[in-house]
Amino acid sequence: MPDRRPVRPAERTAVRPSRRPVRPSVGPGPLLTAAAVVVDGAGRVLVRALGNVPGRPGLPGAAVAGAETPEAGLARALARELGLHAPVGRLLAVDSLPAAGPRARAAVVHLHLVGPLGPQEAAAAAAVMPGWVAPQEAYGLLPEPDGARLRAALAALRTGSVAHLAGGAAQPGSPAGLDPARRSALEHAGALDAASHRAARPKALTAASALLTDAAGRVLLVEPAYGRRGRWHLPGGGVDSDLGETPRAAVRREVREELGLDVQPGRLLAVNWSHKPGYPARIRFLYDGGVLDTGALTAIRLPPGELLAWHLATADDLRDLVKPSLRRQIKASLRARAQGTGPLELHAGRPADG
């Protein structure tokens, strides 16, 4: 159910720190460095050289040696600076800087996600580098272009993409970090080629859910094994649009995977649009899954490790079990099913017409 999973690093690569002597790469090519965007469970960022720690404020990292990958160089730097052996996560941003003079070299900076660190890891890192700060504070502490790099990297983290930077500035067509007003101005000026236009356009995540009830009208909910305990969801999940899957096919697949039931989806009851600033919009298709008889309920089988339990909830139960937006979506869909109306257009569970 990829649409409901909490934000996590998409990929992590466990890299052992290199034991070779560290020598920055030499030659005519650009100097390659790697920096870590280390975050904790509260969304704070680790910044070096705060308080009584000497040196220029910056993100943890180091120059990459000639035989190293950026991931290996960053793992080495984190082990040396912080005693931290957390996996190096996905690439968030790439920044390039021109040479500052005739004898200088151009530079390329890779920014990778590390974390979120657990409480014990975060405390251990803070003991070595006391610099856990909120992102907005970090932007002001860091010199440019480091602050701009961090801002773009965190934008890439929220949107699940990568920022393309030059001197800390997001380039036209960058999938993340490009100011929305500038992106819109570039589009209206016809300054983006087709590939850059696709890359820079805002993205949306699409999911499909099934409204399944028993003969008494109670709604079937499932409890995921991830995220906050006690938060229940409708059966369903993300639409694999990259495989050509449609929302209707996705909800049938998800119900089969989650409940072990092959239910042919009925009519579309509602489409919900929700948006949180800085994150991709989310679109949910809600289908009528029908009424499950005793035999179907008895046949339910949950996938181990993904779902913990299923539950039949009355309308009054929903307030304590599901988030307000989903509760509004469920109640609107129940009304559409009972009245034979719809499909409804909902925004965060509320009718689009107000």
- Exposure b/e, 113-135, CB count within 10 A at least 16 = b: bbbbbeeebbeebbeebebbbeb
- What does the pLDDT read at residue 126? 82
Q: Which two tokens stand for residue 43?
A: 């969304």
- What does the pLDDT read at residue 50? 55
DSSP assignment of 146-174: HHHHHHHHHHHHHHTS-EEEETTEEPTT-
Residue 281's SS3 state is: strand
Cβ atoms of 2 and 238 within 8 Å: the answer is yes
State how far the Cα of 105 lies from the Cα of 36, in Å rounded to an integer. Answer: 22
Region of residue 88 (phi > 0: left; psi between -120 and 50: alpha; otherwise: beta): beta
State how far the Cα of 97 lies from the Cα of 351, in Å rounded to an integer. Answer: 49
State how far the Cα of 354 lies from the Cα of 347, in Å rounded to an integer. Answer: 9
State how far the Cα of 289 lies from the Cα of 306, in Å rounded to an integer. Answer: 21
State how far the Cα of 85 lies from the Cα of 75, in Å rounded to an integer. Answer: 7
CA angle 33, 34, 38 (to 5 degrees): 150
Residue 234's SS3 state is: coil
List the chain pLDDT tens, one digit each, 354 residues: 545 444 444 344 444 544 555 555 445 688 999 999 999 999 999 998 655 455 678 899 999 998 899 999 999 999 998 889 999 999 999 999 998 888 889 999 999 999 999 998 988 888 887 789 999 999 999 998 999 999 999 999 999 999 999 999 999 999 999 999 999 999 999 999 999 999 999 999 999 999 999 999 999 999 999 877 778 999 999 999 999 999 999 999 999 999 999 999 999 999 999 999 999 999 999 999 999 999 999 999 999 989 999 999 999 999 999 999 999 999 999 999 999 998 999 999 999 986
Nearest CA-CA partner of 96 in 152, 49, 58: 152
The angle, 0 to 180 degrees and rounded to 10, between the axes of the packed helices 70-82 and 119-128 is: 70
Q: Three-state SS string across 19-47, please?
A: CCCCCECCCCCCEEEEEEEEEECCCCEEC
State how far the Cα of 88 lies from the Cα of 294, in Å rounded to an integer. Answer: 49
CA angle 23, 106, 39 (to 5 degrees): 70
Rg (CA), the chain: 24
